[in-house]
Amino acid sequence: MMPEQIGRYKVLEEVGRGGMAVVYLARDLSMERDVAIKVLPAQLLEQDVFRKRFEREAKVIANFEHPSIVPVYDYGEENNQLYLVMRYMSGGSLADRIKQKPLSFEETSQIFLRLAPALDQVHARGIVHRDLKPGNILFDRYGNAYISDFGIARLIESSTNLTGDLLIGTPAYMSPEQVRGEKDIDARSDVYALGAILYEMLTGKQPYDSTTPIGLALKHITEPVPRILSVRADLPPESQHIISKAMAKDRQQRFRTAGDMAEAMQAIVSKRSPSPVTERSAELPSTDQPDRRKYILAGAALLVVVALSVCALVYGWMNWGSSQTAEKATETVPVLLTDSSIAAIPTVLTTAQVIEPSPTAPAVQPQATSAPAVSIAPGPAVFRDDFSDPNSGWERFSNDAGSADYYRGHYRVYAELPEIIAWGVANRAYSDVTLEVEATKVSGTDNNYIGVICRYQDEDNYYLFAIQSSGYYAIEKHKAGKEELLGSEFLEYSDTIHQGNTTNHFQVSCIGDTLTFYLNGLKLQEVKDTDISSGDVGLAAAAFEVGNTEILFDNFGAKIP
């Protein structure tokens, strides 16, 4: 039976169940926010020493502070069961995304380059994840990737080792040294798992396949690293080198750190992507307008149900955070390998060949320019503004959260604090309208929002067409203070978006019940919604990781059909 309350948390629903935990969505009554609670089985407390180990590990995990690690807020004991409280993520897992289709190289790079620094930070503290997999990489509703369950594998391993010498891992991603039962596991085991995950992101397939979990685990020792270019010939040749080096059988031949692996990935990205930089402008001018805070609700973390896979030598515990099922023995399932099974593993390693990249000509770096707008709603221009006149009517405000004001022939929107949307409106109301504007990111994180607003009624009710400088986009509805993505469960990725400090050309329309989003001349999305029929128009910016995001808007236009 689902409890009504755990500590100060009101339980809303069960969102996951497995062999070693039940996961609930709950409401923190003190902080007034949604959280995820993982409740461990009561039998663990039959071991007197486990409670102390749990408390020690929970404190270590809770002290992790990195924008790419799912934060743990609290821990406790209720009805003889221990529990962990963490941020609730709503964007699903990497496993969910891979199931839909293989990721592009650009999207894979964005995710990978965000996660690598988080691993390095934790590894520097002497902590190894031990169970990295797509199911443990979660997304918030803005598409930002996070690593979950740091320390969980070590915690469970410490409890099971009280009664037997056992190993924990997921067969599809276990390093050879984990499979062999070696005790001195270090950061390079996580690097190996990263290589396997990278292969799966780009191909939609795990590196190895087998009919049983133990057979799958053994292939990490006996089989060579697969050739990714034979599965996807469109990938850069250097991608094979990264995967082969990360998944080398001998850990001495691997990347030393996740950061080293990220540097190799960044070198490929730099060849493929332009990186024009706009000069940083001066500090914000102060205004006499009243303070005005504009908040967004933080995204949260969705944890889903997973099943167990059992065989003669392998049995599973909960697949924390993953949405995968155990319909086949080849599914990713955390396993416990006994010493007797490890003894049967051959000790001779198959040395993986590290494939050196083929030489390639330096890529020409194109300059990002504003693409010609596509006409999606013909009609007379009713309002044009190049922002050369500071009295053209746009909202002007400044406070400690952000600002919007005229600046050197532009309209500048500045997000000072993370998790805040700053915007300014034109003070012109429309029902049906098509809007276009050029938006240039000057500074700040790429983990941001750059947006155009239509049908703005107040700070709780409007439509937002937004992109992130990392390549994602969305159409959002804000209704009665609640946010909803329209037309998609998650933010979508598009190569159409000019990434980094550069310019993008927006053209959006709100015509009847149809909302259409064009960017740089190409259509991104079209959705239907009837909740908001008219209102003001505006320009917006936000930062979700660190503050100080500055966007300059220019050549704004509005026309009616």
Catalytic residues: 131
Which segments of 214-358 are extended strands (E)? Answer: 335-337
Look at the alpha carbons of 309, 315, 317, 321 in this order and tell me if their dihedral is positive or negative.
Answer: negative
**What tokens were used for 10?**
């009101």
Query: Exposure of 212 by Cβ count < 10 A (0-12 exposed, 13-18 middle, 19+ buried)?
Result: middle
Assign residue 419 a region (left: φ > 0; alpha: ψ between -120 and 50; beta: otherwise).
left
Q: Are 207 and 247 in contact (CB under 8 A)?
A: yes
- Find the largest Cα–Cα distance for the chain: 80
Q: Write the Ramachandran bin of 444: left for phi over 0, alpha for psi from -120 to 50, otherwise beta.
A: left
Q: What is the dihedral of CA 202, 134, 470, 556, to 10 degrees?
A: 110
Whether the Cβ atoms of residue 294 and residue 422 lie closer than 8 Å to each other: yes
The dihedral over CA atoms of 482, 486, 490, 492, expressed in degrees to the nearest 10, equals -130
Specify the DSSP class assigned to residue 284. P
Question: Tokens 């799912």 map to which residue?
Answer: 70
List, in sequence order, every residue forming a beta bridge with 138; answer none if it has no partner. Answer: 93, 146
Classify the C-alpha dihedral 427-432-433-434 as positive or negative.
Answer: positive
Distance, CA of 292 to CA of 401 (rounded, Å): 8
Three-class secondary structure of residue 110 per DSSP: helix
CA–CA dist 193, 190 (Å, integer):
5
Phi/psi of residue 311, nearest 5 degrees: -145, -175
If one counts every other C-beta atom within 10 angstroms of the C-beta of residue 210, the result is: 18
Helix (H), strand (E) at residue 106: helix 105-123
The CA–CA distances, whole Å, from 497 to 6, 113, 437 equal 44, 18, 14
From the list 273, 92, 275, 251, the residue with the least C-alpha distance to 187 is 251
Start-to-end CA span in the chain (Å): 57
- Listed residue (527, 148, 505, 127) closest to 301, CA to CA: 148
